[in-house]
Amino acid sequence: MDPTVLTVESTRVAIQEKQFSATALVEALHARIERDDTHAWLTHPPERALAQAAAIDKLADKGGPLPPLAGVPIGIKDVILTRGLRTTAGSKVLQHFFPPYDATAVARLEAAGAIVMGKTNCDEFAMGSSNENSAYGVVKNPHDKARVPGGSSGGSAAAVANGTAVAALGSDTGGSIRQPAAFCGIVGLMPSYGRVSRYGLIAFASSLDRIGPMTRSVKDAALILQHIAGHDPLDSTCANVPVPDYAAEIGKPVKGLKVGVPKEYFAEGLDDDVRASVEAATEKIHQLGCEVVPISLPHTKYAIPTYYVLATAEASSNLARYDGVRYGFRIKDAKTLTEMYRRTRDEGFGYEVKRRIMLGTYVLSAGYYDAYYLKAQRVRTLLSRDFDAAFAKVDAIVTPTTPTAAFKLGEKAENPLAMYLADIYTVTGNLAGVPAIAVPCGKTKTGLPIGLQIFARRFDEPTLLRLGHAYEHARGAF
């Protein structure tokens, strides 16, 4: 049993055919987690995973068919609630929080036979692009431990890349699934807004947040998405639209698809190695029979400022609940209620979270609302219309996922603007509500992974997966 090469499908088959038991796999992975030096995991008590594994093994012993995700070990980003399993959002504020219920995505995975191995490290409240903002320590990139794994789902990406999970759930508010997937050389899928329930996701920016799979292959992403997608009455923003058979869709031919390449994503600041790999991937897609055409997304240059107005405004509102009154961290020796509020939030939140709360409070304040928040909402509409206009002409859009490969730990820590610009190619998809996937497409001269990003129309994950899968198989090994 080599956990580093297991897939969703091969894990289920191996357990069905008694090559190994689900219990043996869980025990082996827990041992790997204990030895892991990337700090990808925050909480991983074995009891829940072993109980689920025992139930799967009991089914396997009976000889009948197993559930579709039977025995698949999955890491859950620590902003996604897990009943009775500590969930901190990478923050001191929730250091001792044990949720009373599971997020819908978690419940659906377990119902399909998957095994929750534990909670993966992340930037505090999913605010960051490097996984250096966690209150519980940084995560290291498995490909080079002197470099970041990306953020904010860096722990989930590292866990899949280093073989301590077969798949993981991440969340994506401005690139937090796709950017770490690109940095760690795995697949990361951000579904359309409303495709996957956000019930049980600790909110950062509610109009942007999404839950999605992080896996070793596009097919695995399709198989995980199959079971977490779909309407949920517990989330009023979850769309009541049919869920296709994603596994069946990815095998369909891509010949004849029109694929757009936006000029704005290949401008100044794009690393030469990243440019070369993405251009080579685009040529490979052309060789598969797709028509590659130049397009323009003219308002792209406004995406970062727009995102950091809207996301911080929503964060300011969402994080107001952490006040020391209802649950979470509370300062002990305050003499007045006002002092308790102030010191609880000052000591409970990390520096980046406080920066975003302050920015968000400012843009929502009287006298500045129209100048910043309202204007950003209007620009968001323009960005969304850019994608609508492009998808009237093409079926998919290909771009780099990130302007560079993984940067060194600490390299951007003192320069928030440089850190924010790491998301320049990903935030547009969140603002527009469209789905996107990051697929490995090469390596730098020093061996660091590079990711190709593919966008598709809202709720057209089948095209996204079909094109990603076709490219993945055509490109071969690096």
Tokens of 442: 């090469």
Active site residue 192: no
* Integer Cα distance of 218 and 247 in angstroms: 10
Q: Name residue 187's beta-bridge partners.
A: 215
Q: Is 176 a catalytic residue?
A: yes
Q: Where are the beta strands (DSSP E) in 297-407?
A: 396-400
Cα separation, 10 vs 13, in Å, equals 5
What is the DSSP code string of 17-65? TTSS-HHHHHHHHHHHHHH-SS--EEE--HHHHHHHHHHHHHHHHHTSP
Which entry of 21, 77, 171, 412 is annotated as an active-site residue?
77
CA distances from 193 to 161, 171, 300, 423 (A): 26, 12, 19, 18
Q: Which of 21, 129, 176, 197 is catalytic?
A: 176
Name which of 322, 325, 328 is nearest 353 in CA terms.
322
- Residue 412 sits at the vertex; the CA angle it makes with 411 and 413, to the nearest 5 degrees, is 100
Q: Is 179 exposed, middle or buried (CB count within 10 Å of its CB: 0-12, 13-18, 19+)?
A: buried
Alpha-helix residue ranges (DSSP H) falling in 229-271: 246-249
Q: Which residues contact 82 (CB under 8 A, 6 or more apart)?
A: 76, 99, 102, 103, 106, 116, 119
Supply angle C-alpha 255, 258, 259, rounded to 5: 110
Is 217 an annotated catalytic residue? no
Residues across the chain: 478
Pairing of strands 41-43, 210-215: unpaired
Q: Which of 91, 130, 152, 153 is catalytic?
A: 152
Cite the active site residues: 77, 152, 176
